[in-house]
Chains A and B, each alone.
Chain A
């Protein structure tokens, strides 16, 4: 029995293929970020798959936003730690 609705990995690949023209026009370093951004969606396969929204791109975007949110949070923490360390050393 064949599956009719594609797997979410296929859906992501389909979307990426649809954006290939856009990617082509990017600078090399931007292309790397483009790839990384869709990779984030692949890390959230289960979420996207479970939601199975009618417009897949919407949930792909959400995955990317969540990953960016995590990165920002981590950067903030590192920044706070770095500042604290610098302040500590100053007073030492």
Chain B
């Protein structure tokens, strides 16, 4: 019986090591001191390399991190390589970063609104990362109206976590999708962020991180004409083994 087909992935392009680590350390510092913010980092797929490097930096300082992965971007070996390069036992880092993968927008919603806050509380952690939260929302099999509501509920949940002192870093790869209306979801995402960083590449293949937006939204503005009904919130998983 042959194994099911799997997606192959490109190896991550290499970012000049020193720059990355330095930027990472700065970002990590800004990110976690004080905790309680929601940042977005967007650009090409290198955003994930950068995010994982930042995570590695934070992990070496003893932070516990929860990652919700909406695009199958998590790369374990990047972290273990970082450990090796810094002469740390990889297990020490790999045991302290936790992943939940979502392959549909419904799974992502459940993961972000229910599971993530519960998990962070159970571990006493205040640091979370989300990879490509929009990717599953682009799936044509999920109706746009539903997807918009899901995004609203997710952003509301992120704000709640922020109030409780959690720092959330969202890494998103820029993409143009079809049908066109779905591209507007990115605007909805950015409007809810404390800061938006853009990863840019210059002519010499060097990356830099640009601060694109800095705001403190006081509340989440509901989309015009969209209802966010559905208030039932029984957590069927509150007893579920984590």
Contact = CB atoms under 8 A, between A and B. Distances in A.
B78 to A, nearest CB: 11
Interface in B1-60: 6-9, 11
Nearest to A6: B9
B236 interface: no
B84 A55 contact: yes
A5 B76 contact: yes
A18 B84 CA distance: 15
Interface residues of A, number: 15
Contact of B7 (A2, A14, A18, A55): A2
B76 A54 contact: yes
Interface string A1-26: 11111110011001001100000000
Interface in B72-125: 72, 74, 76-77, 80-81, 83-84, 90-91, 94, 99, 101, 103
B94 A54 contact: yes
Given A4-B74, A54-B76, A55-B80, A10 B8 contact: yes
19 contacts: A1-B103, A2-B6, A2-B72, A3-B6, A3-B72, A4-B74, A4-B99, A6-B8, A7-B6, A10-B9, A11-B77, A14-B11, A18-B11, A54-B80, A54-B83, A54-B90, A55-B81, A55-B90, A56-B77
A6 B81 CA distance: 15
B61 to A, nearest CB: 19
Contacts of B99: 4
Contacts of A11: 77
A17 B11 contact: yes
Contacts, number: 37
A25 B153 CA distance: 55
Nearest to A17: B11
Contacts of B83: 54
B51 to A, nearest CB: 15
Interface centre among B69, B76, B77, B94 (most CB of A within 10 A): B77
Interface string A61-75: 000000000000000
Contacts of B72: 2-4
B122 to A, nearest CB: 23
Nearest to A14: B11
Nearest to A56: B77
Given A2-B6, A7-B6, A54-B90, 20 more contacts: A1-B103, A2-B103, A3-B6, A3-B72, A4-B69, A4-B72, A4-B74, A4-B76, A4-B101, A6-B8, A6-B9, A10-B9, A14-B11, A18-B11, A54-B76, A54-B80, A54-B83, A54-B91, A55-B84, A55-B90
Contacts of A3: 6-7, 72
Interface centre among B8, B69, B72 (most CB of A within 10 A): B8
